[in-house]
């Protein structure tokens, strides 16, 4: 059996070189290892009450009961955040990525799993593009995870300083 669980220490943030950081231990079974994931460049206001963190290269694995529950929670978060239904989720997610975060879906790949690659085309001038690549069992879950990553970094929308 393959699956992933995240042990999250909410509110355990530290100042890092690229802004606020937190570490999460990601425990995996099957072909995966146990490793720590560090999230940086976050604002405390975005994460203060959020213990369901997603990384820029996360795996939305729904092959275990715990993984299904995690995917369901992130997908529900995305539907609520976008005020979407399952029928209009794709349209609203694509619009939000483009208009709120200056990002576009560059590709959806598939073999044993799927992977959704999102590239940021409009970003603050003093930052590198913030790109996301999510491996997933269900593409809908991968898109929800990707949207959550952008929300964790920028909040409801990214502000670009035009100066």
pLDDT tens digits for range 77-133: 999 999 999 999 999 999 999 999 999 999 999 999 999 999 999 988 888 999 999
The yes-or-no verdict on residue 157 having pLDDT over 70 is: yes
Q: Terminus-to-terminus CA distance in the chain, angstroms?
A: 52
Helices (H), 16-88: 44-47, 65-82
Phi, psi angle pair for 9, to nearest 5°: -105, 90
The pTM of the full predicted model, rounded to 2 decimals, is 0.70
Strand partners, 62: none
Q: What is the pLDDT of residue 158?
A: 78
Angle at the Cα of 24 from the Cα atoms of 141 and 47, rounded to 5 degrees: 70
More confident residue, 47 or 154: 154
pLDDT at 52: 76
Residues with Cβ within 8 Å of 8's Cβ and at least 6 positions away in sequence, in order, are 24, 51, 52, 53
Question: What is residue 158's DSSP assignment?
Answer: P
pLDDT score recorded for residue 74? 96
Give the tens place of pLDDT for each residue, 15-62.
555 454 555 444 433 344 333 444 455 544 444 345 678 888 899 999
pLDDT of amino acid 156? 87
- CA–CA distances in Å: residue 151 to residues 3, 27, 98, 147: 25, 24, 13, 6
State the Cα–Cα distance between residues 163 and 35, nearest whole angstrom. 40
């Amino acid at each position: 059996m393959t699956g992933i669980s995240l042990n999250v220490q909410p509110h355990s943030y530290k100042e890092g070189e690229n802004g606020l950081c937190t570490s999460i231990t990601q425990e995996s079974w099957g072909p995966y290892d146990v490793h720590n994931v560090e999230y940086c460049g976050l604002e405390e206001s975005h994460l203060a009450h959020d213990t369901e963190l997603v990384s820029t290269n996360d795996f939305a694995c729904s092959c275990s009961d715990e993984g299904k529950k995690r995917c369901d929670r992130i997908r529900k978060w995305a539907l609520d955040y976008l005020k979407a239904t399952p029928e209009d989720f794709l349209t609203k997610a694509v619009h939000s990525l483009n208009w709120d975060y200056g990002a576009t879906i560059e590709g959806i790949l598939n073999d044993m799993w799927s992977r959704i690659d999102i590239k940021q085309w409009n970003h603050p001038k003093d930052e590198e593009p913030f790109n996301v690549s999510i491996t997933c069992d269900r593409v809908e879950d991968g898109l929800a995870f990707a949207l959550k990553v952008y929300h964790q970094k920028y909040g409801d929308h990214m502000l670009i300083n035009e100066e």
